[in-house]
Amino acid sequence: MHLTPDQTDMLDGGQGWPLQIAMEMLTAVGAALDAPDLIPVKSAHLVIDGTALGVAGRNFLERLVDEGGRFVIPASINAIAVDRTKPDMSADETDQIRMLEACEKMGALPSCSCNPFIQGLLPAFGEHVAWSESATAPFVNSVLGARTNREGATAVASALTGLAPRCGMHLDDNRRGEILLRVEADIAGVDRFSLLGALAGRLTGDRVPVLDGIGQTPSTDDYVAFGAAFAIHGAAAMFHIAGITPEAPDLETAFGGGVPVATIVDDAALDAEHARTATGTAGPVDIVSIGCPHASLDQLRSAAAMVVDQQAADRAGGHASPAVKFYIHTNRSTYDTASSEGVIGVLTGAGVSVTADNCAVVSYDRVPAGARLATNSAKMALFARSVSNAKILFGSTAQCIAAGLSGRWER
């Protein structure tokens, strides 16, 4: 890789250990991916999940601080594994907070969310950034038209240096469509967009898909649901929707020329994806998880309205079944706004736990093994199956709320 004299000095340790280790990470990844050089990036989004990084991650971040490491670009933080306001934290949870504090000392914004877009963190069209958390890359690339790879620990290195390898989604050629998915089904609601994302991810693997036939412009919540499921079921960092997303004004432009034969995504294909996702059957529910990725203010408001409607329809009184852990996950600032509007009060009054900062699987207190979990998110479904062998009950937000209040999944 070509490095400037200043970058070579960082790599040689002339500017301290934090920049040296950061440059070692970036040049190793860059060399593996044939990047010719490093490019400036404007922001970074960091995953510091303590359940994955453990004590080694804490030690690394604290050493960066001790040795003078400072972030030179705006850096936000993904969901962490504990609610920051939790009293009486375990040793693991305390370690997670120490990791967050280390990042804050280096200049990070403690956003603690896998859905930073609803917090106003929106890279501009054409901007190069270094964002980790697989769910963020499709939104950044596809919806905003900014440019990021699916970063991992390298996002910390980018935050320290303001640099990233010039490869992957930073290059025009890699952003063109490679497979056409013709959608011949009605897609409405985050559960359907999430299911479509899961199917699109599995059908396309590491190729960039172009979806055609989605009639309406998806809402931000729809895009977030689609992108999270797309990323976790596939390996691509970008999708296009013909006539809607910014780099796909039409099919020819999205593909950069010839349009390939379409793969059809119809109701039968989505039904099959639903059957793959929903491994549980009707009956009692142990856990309800809504808000993967973290719920927006609109989603919290609408969940509260649905709870009120369900309570009115429910002769039994409509308070969440004591046998069910009923979670809606969000971030701290959205929680605070919803709280000031009385939305959190309505939800908690009905027995819903609105969690901030973490979720049912990014948590030291995660879904118990074999639990029957109801969700409207194909990403949560896959994670809960993978980490806890959960039995998944998959459906709309309204179905999940009804299950949380009644304690049963009806089908």
* 163: nearest Cα among 10, 322, 276: 10
Tell whether residue 379 is a contact of ligand F3S (CB under 6 A): yes
Tell whether residue 390 is a contact of ligand F3S (CB under 6 A): no
Q: How far apart are CA 211 and CA 351, in angstroms?
A: 40
Q: Which long-range contacts (CB under 8 A, 24 or more apart) does 6-9 make?
A: 7/38, 7/163
Tell whether residue 193 is a contact of ligand F3S (CB under 6 A): no
Contact 352, 322 (CB under 8 A): no
CA dihedral sign of residues 26, 28, 33, 35: positive
Count the residues of the shown chain that bind ligand F3S, applying the rule CB under 6 A. 14
CA atoms within 13 A on the CB side of 356: 16
**Residue positions counted in the chain:** 411
Binding-residue pattern over the window 115 to 154 for ligand F3S, x denoting contact by CB under 6 A: --------------------x-------------------
Q: Looking at 44, 380, 400, 401, which residue binds ligand F3S (CB under 6 A)?
A: 380
At 60, which helix (H) or strand (E)? helix 50-66
Query: Toward ligand F3S, which CB reaches closer, 242 or 359?
Result: 359
Q: Read off the amino acid at residue 381.
A: A
Query: Toward ligand F3S, which CB reaches closer, 329 or 332?
Result: 329
- Burial of 138: CB neighbours in 10 Å, binned 0-12, 13-18, 19+: buried
- Burial of 125: CB neighbours in 10 Å, binned 0-12, 13-18, 19+: exposed
Binding-residue pattern over the window 282 to 301 for ligand F3S, x denoting contact by CB under 6 A: ----------xxx-------
Binding-residue pattern over the window 219 to 258 for ligand F3S, x denoting contact by CB under 6 A: ---------x------------------------------
Binding-residue pattern over the window 320 to 359 for ligand F3S, x denoting contact by CB under 6 A: ---------x-----------------------------x
Query: Toward ligand F3S, which CB reaches closer, 58 or 329?
Result: 329
Query: Toward ligand F3S, which CB reaches closer, 38 or 228?
Result: 228
